[in-house]
Amino acid sequence: MPRLLVRPPSPQLADGEVTHLDRVPVDPALARRQWEGYVGVFRARGWEVSEVPSADEHPDGVFVEDGVVVFDDLAVFGRPGAASRRGELATLRPAVTGLGLEVAEIEAPGTLDGGDVLKIGRTVYVGRSSRTNDDGIAALRDLLSPRGWQVVTVPVTRVLHLKSAVTALPDGTVVGHPPEVDDPELFDRFLPVPEPEGNAVVVLDEGTVLMSASAPRSADLFRSRGLEVVTTPVTELEKLEGCVTCLSVRLR
């Protein structure tokens, strides 16, 4: 059974970090309802949901994917590029180490956010962004190369994280809104989408993806390719540069 790690949004969510967007009002109560709807999609599909302990003092703690990335039986804890987020790991570590996985950590001076890591087959695309630096990418490559993973560095200058710009469909096709993608030619197959919110999809199974309800034209594009598309509203999280990928860690 696939497992989902999630963390409820903090009441202080509106104070979260904003880098590429202008700050606008955020409704924490609506964000909580949207988060519950997001989690409900996975429950309805048979995923086992595990909640990471709340970290209400950390406004960005709901974006739990940034703290850890799992490769087969190896969990790699990142080192957040935003110093204000490094305290989030204290409650995330016990939740992950209790799963029986081998554990490694990115250490200073490296920084690595999970939102910059896109896995397609045995290739790991890692965004060189304002949150993930060259030392962090090199450390990840040292961990993964002996395990048969290829690590490819991707420039990210137009959005916060790599997966704010691109994600992948079940067949490995990379999708992204061209104005937000630095170099689409780095990917073997690239499909432009018509809306920025269409950049982010979560693969639920080989025929189904989850995405934001804010991108109906992108959803229609994916349906035209034979996919079932499940949508859920995440508007309050999108105001803080979040999306459907960063709200969970998926263990398949």
Per-residue pLDDT of the chain (252 residues; tens, 9 = 90+): 899 999 999 999 999 999 999 999 999 999 999 999 999 999 999 999 999 999 999 999 999 999 999 999 999 999 999 999 999 999 999 999 989 999 999 999 999 999 999 999 999 999 999 999 999 999 999 999 999 999 999 999 999 999 999 999 999 999 999 999 999 999 999 999 999 999 999 999 999 999 999 999 999 999 999 999 999 999 999 999 999 999 999 998
Residues 229, 219 contacting (CB under 8 angstroms): yes
Which of these, 32, 58, 64, 56, lies nearest to 233 by C-alpha position? 32
146 near 138, Cβ under 8 Å? no
The H-assigned helical ranges of the chain are 28-44, 89-97, 134-144, 162-165, 216-224, 235-238
CB 81 within 8 A of CB 111: yes
CA dihedral 17, 36, 30, 205 (to 10 degrees): 70
Distances (CA, A) of 62 to 5, 49, 58, 193, 244: 11, 14, 9, 26, 11
Paired tokens of 8: 């409820």
CA dist 142 → 14, 80, 110, 138 (Å): 37, 19, 12, 6
Q: What is the pTM of this model?
A: 0.97
Continuous segment of H or E residues that includes residue 53: none
- What is the per-residue burial (b if ≥16 Cβ within 10 Å, else e) of 18-27? eeeeeeeebe
Q: What's the one-letter identity of residue 248? A: S
Q: If you compute the radius of gyration of the chain from its CA atoms, what whole number of angstroms results? A: 17
Active site amino acids: 161, 246
- Three-state secondary structure string covering 85-114: HHHHHHHHHHHHHCCCCEEEECCCCCCECH
Both tokens of 6, joined, read 């999630």
Total count of domains within the chain: 1
Q: Which residue do the tokens 């990471």 mark?
A: 52
| Domain with 227 in it | 3-251
Decide if 50 contacts 4 (C-beta within 8 A): yes
- The whole-angstrom separation of Cα 24 and Cα 33 is 19
How confident is the model at residue 43, as a pLDDT? 98
Structure confidence at residue 1 (pLDDT): 87
The domain that contains 121 carries what CATH number? Answer: 3.75.10.10
